[in-house]
Chain A
Amino acid sequence: MKDLLQVAGKSYSSRLLVGTGKYRDFAQTRAAVDASGAQIVTVAIRRTNIGQNANEPSLLDALPPSKYTYLPNTAGCYSAADAVRTLRLARELLDGHDLVKLEVLGDPHTLYPNMPETLKAADELVKDGFKVMVYCSDDPIQAQMLEQAGCVAIMPLASLIGSGMGILNPWNLQLVIEKVKLPVIVDAGVGTASDAAIAMELGCDGVLMNTAIAAARDPVLMAKAMKKAVEAGREAFLAGRMPKKLYSATPSSPTEGKIAPKAA
């Protein structure tokens, strides 16, 4: 049986979701996304440059929406109203596409989510027919509130956006995983492959990252590493790790049939 990520009634074979920001150019973006094997890619919605480079290539050409599932985000929004407005424009831009990533930020220093505004925006977006994957704090109670609001995936931060600090509070992530039935996808904080593997070993359903790949010295190679890390972490989770036994070693080799000790 295939082990697939299920989000909003659709199945994905890749549990790695990637952002498309901070790359050198669209060619590198495309190469890294392809190396990662990701099927869901986040994009930002921004004002178009008027009167500049009319023939500039567009992200939509580099990553055709027919091949990748777009996840338009609300990065940079600090209120529910701005986030909702941004995603309505995104839906218009992407011909009615309704799977979105909601993030309402609290301050520009930490980019920590503003949870009251996030909940408010989630309510409004769900009522308006959006399928909302939501960036949130690693608070199990608020995760349940977002689930009750009708979101389709809970995406807690593992550490601050773009920090590469890794999984700082595995205990809270596990509480969130226990408390909600929705897919839990770590969004933000992963720095290297082992972080992604740890998230998956904890039982997360997926990992979303951007900077960990884009800011690596070799983004395409890091994208490959992340693909393997997410797969390895998932398999380790499914396999069920051995229990930890502190101060109690157990030999791996037979204890019977050893040759006689050297005579004194």
Chain B
Amino acid sequence: MIQVTVNGAAHRFERPVDVSALLAALELAGKKVAVGEHRARVRAARHDLAVALDGDRLEIVVAVGGG
């Protein structure tokens, strides 16, 4: 069991997951989002290759109204 923090909330997974699978598990598959790990951003083209490991802290962001 691993724990990945996504947008400040803890999520548990059976084993390390790639970012595509993580987005699908969070019902965000196909949504226009960007993913950053606390050290760097995760390339959108590599979501199926980038793997979230135990203890990772991810930020998943969207564009919202702002000035």
Give chain A's interface residues, CB within 8 Å of chain B: 19-23, 26, 29, 42-48, 50-51, 54, 58-60, 70, 72-73, 75, 85, 88-90, 92-95, 161-162, 208-211
Which parts of B37-67 form the interface with A (CB within 8 Å)?
Answer: 41-44, 59-67
Q: Judging by beta carbons under 8 Å apart, are A20 and B67 in contact? A: yes
Contact residues in A for B63 (Cβ distance below 8 Å): 43-45, 58-60, 70, 72, 90, 93-94
Please give the distance in Å from A257's CB to the nearest CB on chain B: 57
With A43-B66, A88-B36 in contact, do A48 and B27 touch (Cβ < 8 Å)? no
In the assembled complex, the Cα of A21 lies from the Cα of B65 at a distance in Å of: 4
Q: Compute how far the CA of A182 lies from the CA of B9 in the bound complex, rounded to whole angstroms.
A: 43
Question: How far apart are B37's CB and chain A's nearest CB, in angstroms?
Answer: 11
**Chain A positions within 8 Å of B2 at CB level:** none
Smallest Cβ distance from B3 to chain A, in angstroms? 15
Bound-state CA distance A85–B41 (Å) is 8
* Beta-carbon contact of A48 and B61 below 8 Å: yes
A-B contact count (CB 8 A): 110
Complex CA distance for A20 and B28, rounded to whole angstroms: 23
Question: Taking CB as reference atom, which chain B residue is nearest A92?
Answer: B34
Q: How many residues of B contact A (CB 8 A)?
A: 26
A210 partner residues in chain B, CB cutoff 8 A: 66-67
Chain A residue with Cβ nearest B42: A92
Asked if B64 contacts A44 (CB within 8 A), the reply is yes
0/1 per residue, B22-38, Cβ < 8 Å to A?
A: 00001110011111100
* Alpha-carbon distance between A26 and B64 when the two chains are bound, in angstroms: 10
Q: Are A211 and B62 in contact (CB under 8 A)?
A: no
List, in ascending order, chain B residues with CB within 8 A of A46's CB. Answer: 61-62, 64, 66
* B6 touches A (CB below 8 Å): yes
Distance (Å) between the CB of A6 and the closest chain B CB? 23
A-chain residues with CB within 8 Å of residue B60 when the two chains form the complex: 47-48, 50
The answer to whether A29 and B65 have CB atoms under 8 Å apart is yes
Q: What's the least CB distance linking A157 to chain B, in Å?
A: 12
**B43 contacts across to A, CB distance below 8 A:** 92
Q: Are the CB atoms of A51 and B27 closer together than 8 Å?
A: yes
Contacting pair B66 A93 (CB below 8 A):
no
Contact A50 B6 (CB under 8 A): yes
Is A51 a contact of B64 with CB atoms below 8 Å?
A: no
Across the interface, do A44 and B65 meet the contact criterion of CB distance under 8 Å? yes
Q: Report if A48-B9 is in contact (Cβ < 8 Å); known contacts: A60-B32, A92-B41.
A: no
List 22 A–B pairs whose Cβ atoms lie within 8 Å, in order of A's numbering: A21-B67, A26-B65, A42-B66, A42-B67, A45-B63, A46-B62, A47-B7, A47-B60, A47-B61, A48-B60, A51-B26, A58-B63, A59-B62, A60-B62, A70-B63, A75-B67, A90-B63, A92-B34, A92-B36, A92-B41, A161-B67, A209-B67
